[in-house]
A and B are shown apart, each in its own frame.
Chain A
């Protein structure tokens, strides 16, 4: 079983602050890296799929970068809003057959 680590485990920020979290994965084999947002009492929702080293993806105030050579991805949220409060999961895909999920970063945005 591959080890995918996310940090920090939890984060509390004030409304309007920008924040970022990290997903670390083994750099030996790489197929894709996924980010999901999981709000309480809802299903996880896909944010980004990243497949190339140096990829940058953006969706509104949320963006992500990927470094496959060193084995990490960053997720950035600009100007956090209370509705951004959720757990953010990353999932590493080494071969195209299976996901390996991190434990997630729980974000709370305080109004």
Chain B
């Protein structure tokens, strides 16, 4: 089946540790996105990538890093510099532009203890 996978579904980390969230798609989409959701807030864009080896910061990129070495993969690293990392993280992809249908993964809930 084509789609987007995110792993793991739940992730627990100690404060001060970096953690990497996985996002893989087999839809042959060019563009991929990372969003964060906090209670009472809409999804906020962290980073996006429109082609391999290129990515841009979204509105809340501080404390996060990404890479896009393969078209299928767009991992997100939550670094120790992120002041409030506990949140729900969603990955998405589109064929080329945002007006194309955007497909979302199931999400990863990160809890930093």
Contact = CB atoms under 8 A, between A and B. Distances in A.
B99 A103 contact: no
Interface of B: 4, 33, 35, 40-45, 48, 56, 58-59, 90, 97-99, 101-107
B88 to A, nearest CB: 11
The bracket for how many chain A residues form the interface is 20 to 34
B30 to A, nearest CB: 14
A96 B44 contact: no
Contacts of A67: none
Contact of B45 (A31, A45, A99): A99
Contacts of B101: 46, 49
Given A31-B99, A93-B98, A103 B40 contact: yes
Q: Which of A45, A96, A97 has the most CB of B within 10 A?
A: A97
